[in-house]
Structure 1
């Protein structure tokens, strides 16, 4: 079952991205490198609880 998650930038603490993941196959926190408009470059975004 897929659930919606929010991604938060580790550097600026902005919550910019909404995505989904399958918790049965990926129980760990998701960590993606995405674009941050405030930093004007790519940064690490980590899954946060709603």
Structure 2
């Protein structure tokens, strides 16, 4: 008998600066992967993280 996987899911976080024209480094889209509990946080997640393309801390939003 296998265990139930639970309510944890893997999400992808994407940088908001992807459409910005003042990118300081190379072109690209900053993305992170993380996991969340969909029962505790049913809405989309927003986290401030470092973007290597912008060279600064920006808000990363959850994408599908």
| Separation (CA, whole Å) in 1 of partners of 2:39 and 2:18 | 30
Q: Which residue of 2 aligns with 1:37?
A: 52
Matched, 1:11 2:11: no
Q: TM-score, normalised by structure 2?
A: 0.71
Asked which structure has the greater CA Rg, the reply is 2
Q: Which residue of 1 aligns with 2:61?
A: 46
Q: Which runs of 4+ in 1 moved over 2 A?
A: none
* Structure with a larger share of its residues in strand: 1
Q: Which runs of 5+ in 2 are unaligned?
A: 1-6, 20-28
2:16, 2:59 within 8 Å by CA — same for their partners in 1? yes
1:29, 1:46 within 8 Å by CA — same for their partners in 2? yes
Aligned length: 49
